[in-house]
Amino acid sequence: MTIAKNNVEKLIRMLMLQGVVVVLGFLFTISVTRMAGVDAYGQISYLIAIANIVMSVMRWGTDETLIVSMTQMQNPRLEIAAATLLRGGLFLTYLSVGLLAVALGAVIFKEVLVISSVLLLAFQVTSLYDYFAQQHRHIHTVIIGKFLLLSGFTGAMALGVSDTLTLFLIGSGLGNMALLSLQYRYFRHCYPRGGPENPWASIRSRSRGLITSNYMVMLASLLSLGLYSANQIYIKHALTLADLGVFAVQWQVCTVLFIYMKQVNRVYKPILVRLHQDKPTRFVRASWLFFLALTLLPVSVSLTVWHFYDQIFPTIFSAELAGYKPMFLLLTLFIFLRGAHMTLTQLCFVMSRNNLSFFANAAGTTTIAATILLMSGYSRIEDAAIALNAAIAVMIVVTAALMSKPPVSCETHA
């Protein structure tokens, strides 16, 4: 009972802190849509969507598997160093490709810089905070980063900077560098200098091991972006930047609920890992509680927001958002389906059946592509939400079907 009470208290504390993050995120969205317009927000969202795809490759699945390997292995410090080395090498690869694209005239240099500023987030090692059950410390750093993003954006605009990409570059660069600096300080607090250091050869060896053991997880994460970032990129090309801006604002509201779901996931992840190892009978009950904690509140809140849509979106953000209430109801359905899929995916990682997410995400990406073909492309923004729901529904079915089968010897372990 004490353990359960502590977990509830921890979750409430994290959600209160995330409330500050949400407020700062909303202030940024409102600032962009009111000062620069929905088109400008669509342009920023487009570049962030591209950055998210690159970031998925940079993390190489370690954002999902690192907490498991840190818990199971005898040297968590080595796991962090190896993951950071791998991410650094992939970041340099992106810069090389980006500069080559600039030289060839495919993109402009400022776009490469904006994407690079977002990619700094890939160097976060949130599992460090999860390992020491200090998730609230990480949220403190996120709050500072969000505040600097908002301050940098609005401050540069007040000083006369009018270019949207320059404004965002200043804000995101300041915020993300501060976040990483504070995380490094916490790393040194947990592992001060003078203690046992890992030899460079061991770090490189473990980093190479991550490439071979995590590539399926990385591909699964990359394919999952077919439901998010790739879909937003397609909206921009099939419709307009303004349409992408409208979709992105609604998605930003849903992101508030996704943040809650992510925090529930972070609190439960180490608990589920340990229960699966030590107390299998309690693991099943904890998994159901995980699903209920993950889903009930977000769906209830989303339905309430949908009911008052016409009083919220056009008033707070922009009048251009009026008339899109049906799409938000479709996104509410997506929130429920995402909770179900997140539960199944979490169980896959806990049981070290990481390959399953690859096949599920491949099925989801195929479904969203097939849906686009059946629709002959998007003719309205609601089509994007329909495609999202169809894809994640297929992913749930595929994941559940694969989990019902016993693991085979070639299964990849974290």
306 pLDDT tier (thresholds 50, 70, 90): very high
Q: Is the pTM of this model over 0.75?
A: no
Count how many residues are written for the chain. 414
pLDDT tens digits, residue range 35-94? 777 787 788 888 888 888 888 888 888 877 787 777 777 788 888 888 889 999 999 999
3-state helix, strand, coil in the chain (%, to 5): 85, 0, 15
Mean pLDDT of the chain: 81
DSSP H helices in 197-354: 200-224, 229-238, 241-278, 280-307, 309-316, 325-350
Q: What's the rounded Cα separation, in Å, for the pair 298 and 302? A: 6
Q: What's the rounded Cα separation, in Å, for the pair 58 and 305? A: 35
DSSP H helices in 120-240: 126-131, 135-158, 164-190, 200-224, 229-238
Mean pLDDT of 117-122: 89
Q: Where are the domains of the chain?
A: 16-214, 226-404
How many other C-beta atoms can be found within 10 angstroms of the C-beta atom of residue 95?
Answer: 14
pLDDT on residue 331: 93
| Pairwise pLDDT comparison (237 vs 350), residue with the higher score | 237
pLDDT tens digits, residue range 322-371? 888 898 999 999 999 999 988 888 777 776 666 677 788 788 888 888 88
Q: Which pair of tokens denotes residue 247?
A: 């979709």
Q: What's the rounded Cα separation, in Å, for the pair 365 and 368? A: 5
pLDDT on residue 271: 72
Whether 409 has a pLDDT exceeding 60, the answer reads: no
Taking every pair of C-alpha atoms in the chain, what is the biggest distance, in angstroms? 62
Answer for the pair 368, 390: CB distance below 8 angstroms, yes or no: yes
Q: What's the rounded Cα separation, in Å, for the pair 190 and 174? A: 25
Residues with Cβ < 8 Å from 195, sequence gap 6 or more? none
Answer for the pair 128, 166: CB distance below 8 angstroms, yes or no: no
Whether 410 has a pLDDT exceeding 50, the answer reads: no
How far CA 48 is from CA of 43, 121, 230, 275, 411, in Å, comes to 9, 11, 11, 37, 33
| Pairwise pLDDT comparison (176 vs 225), residue with the higher score | 176
1 pLDDT tier (thresholds 50, 70, 90): very low
Mean pLDDT of 311-316: 84
pLDDT tens digits, residue range 382-399? 888 898 899 899 989 988
pLDDT tens digits, residue range 147-172? 888 888 888 877 777 788 888 888 88
Residues with Cβ < 8 Å from 248, sequence gap 6 or more? 41, 42, 45, 232
Q: Which pair of tokens denotes residue 411?
A: 């299964």
Task: State whether the Cα torsion 15-21-23-25 is positive or negative.
Answer: negative
**Long-range contacts of the stretch 313-322 (C-beta < 8 A, 24+):** 313/249, 313/250, 313/253, 316/30, 317/29, 317/30, 317/33, 317/34, 317/249, 318/33, 318/34, 318/37, 318/38, 318/249, 320/38, 320/242, 320/245, 320/246, 321/38, 321/246, 321/249, 321/250
| Amino acid at residue number 206 | R
304 pLDDT tier (thresholds 50, 70, 90): very high
| Pairwise pLDDT comparison (385 vs 407), residue with the higher score | 385
Angle between the 76-103 and 109-119 helix axes, to the nearest 10 degrees? Answer: 170
Q: What's the rounded Cα separation, in Å, for the pair 89 and 290? A: 36
Angle between the 38-59 and 229-238 helix axes, to the nearest 10 degrees? Answer: 140
Picking from 16, 41, 35, the residue whose alpha carbon sits closest to that of residue 235 is: 41
